[in-house]
């Protein structure tokens, strides 16, 4: 995944396509919701533990507590970057065990243009969601890509979330330059607060906009993950859900989607 800003030379290769994409993106932006719009309740953060009342209440009324958390990722063939395996996993929120998995090997004909990654990958992920049974459909989805923390303020998590009308969270492993924010600057902040108990640092750009958060997902780590709102969820709720899912540095829904998409490529002799 990439969130680099589009260069002038790359943009000039697809002028007509870019104009269409910009128009579509601006239209989708108008539908973006950045506060909590869901009926389920957030569980307390208890890693590896079932939260009180989860087994009884959630099975009698699916809407009471968050039950299903999705994760989506694509892995690409090293020999042919147009060939990818897209994977969607759904995890039980109380155990973080995978309860549903679907993968699809695809040839991506849409060109990769930095800043417009969603036009290449969102249609593939949207098809996986559409092929997921309602009883196992994720109530919130983590995407290996950014949401608001994006050069154009509308990354893959936003794009997919609006199209699917689904609460969506962007997860980034690296931070590219966005509104004055840099990975080096965040690292300096973490090092300066190395003895602090704080594990979340809000990311505010030069414009004054809150774009996301850097999260130390493992104790003492100086390699944070970068999380941001995708659609129909607030940053506060996003942080709580990501914390719930962190057994390792990468949240479990994204980690499992990544593992299984790579396995998919190997099984098809495409890795």
Whether 1 is covered by a domain: the verdict is no
- β partners of residue 214: 201, 226
CATH number of the domain enclosing 227: 3.30.2170.10
Q: Which domain holds residue 69?
A: 8-46+64-267
The reported pLDDT for the residue numbered 185 is: 86
The reported pLDDT for the residue numbered 245 is: 96
Provide the whole-model pTM.
Answer: 0.88
The reported pLDDT for the residue numbered 49 is: 43
- β partners of residue 91: 69, 98
Whether 154 is covered by a domain: the verdict is yes
Whether 53 is covered by a domain: the verdict is no
The reported pLDDT for the residue numbered 136 is: 97
The reported pLDDT for the residue numbered 218 is: 83
Whether 56 is covered by a domain: the verdict is no
The reported pLDDT for the residue numbered 97 is: 97
Mean pLDDT by 10 residues, the chain (271 residues): 38 76 97 97 60 42 82 96 96 97 96 93 97 96 97 97 98 93 84 70 95 88 91 97 94 98 95 83
Burial class (CB in 10 A: 0-12, 13-18, 19+), 135: exposed
The reported pLDDT for the residue numbered 10 is: 43
């Amino acid at each position: 995944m990439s969130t680099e800003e589009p260069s002038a030379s790359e943009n000039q290769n697809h002028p007509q396509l870019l104009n269409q994409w910009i128009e579509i993106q601006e239209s989708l932006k108008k539908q973006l919701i950045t506060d909590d719009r869901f009926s389920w309740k957030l569980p307390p953060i208890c890693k590896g533990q079932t939260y009180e009342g989860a087994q009884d209440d959630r099975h009698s009324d699916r809407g009471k507590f968050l039950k299903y958390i999705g994760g989506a990722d694509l892995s690409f063939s090293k020999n042919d970057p147009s060939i990818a395996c897209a994977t969607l996993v759904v995890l039980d929120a109380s155990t973080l065990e995978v309860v549903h998995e679907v993968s699809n090997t695809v040839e991506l004909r849409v060109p990769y243009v930095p800043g417009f990654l969603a036009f290449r990958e969102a249609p593939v992920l949207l098809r996986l969601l559409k092929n997921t049974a309602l009883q196992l459909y994720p109530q919130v989805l983590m995407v290996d890509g950014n949401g608001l923390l994006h050069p154009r303020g509308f990354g893959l998590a936003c794009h997919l979330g609006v199209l699917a009308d689904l609460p969506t969270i962007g997860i980034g492993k690296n931070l590219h330059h966005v509104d004055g924010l840099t990975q080096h600057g965040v690292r300096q902040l973490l090092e300066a607060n190395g003895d602090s108990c704080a594990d979340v640092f809000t990311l505010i750009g030069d414009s004054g906009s809150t774009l996301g958060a850097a999260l130390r997902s493992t104790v003492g780590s100086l390699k944070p993950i970068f999380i941001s709102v995708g659609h129909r969820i607030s940053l506060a709720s996003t942080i709580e859900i990501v914390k719930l899912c962190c057994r390792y540095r990468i949240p479990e829904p994204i980690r499992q989607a990544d593992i299984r998409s790579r396995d998919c490529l190997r099984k098809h002799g495409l890795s």
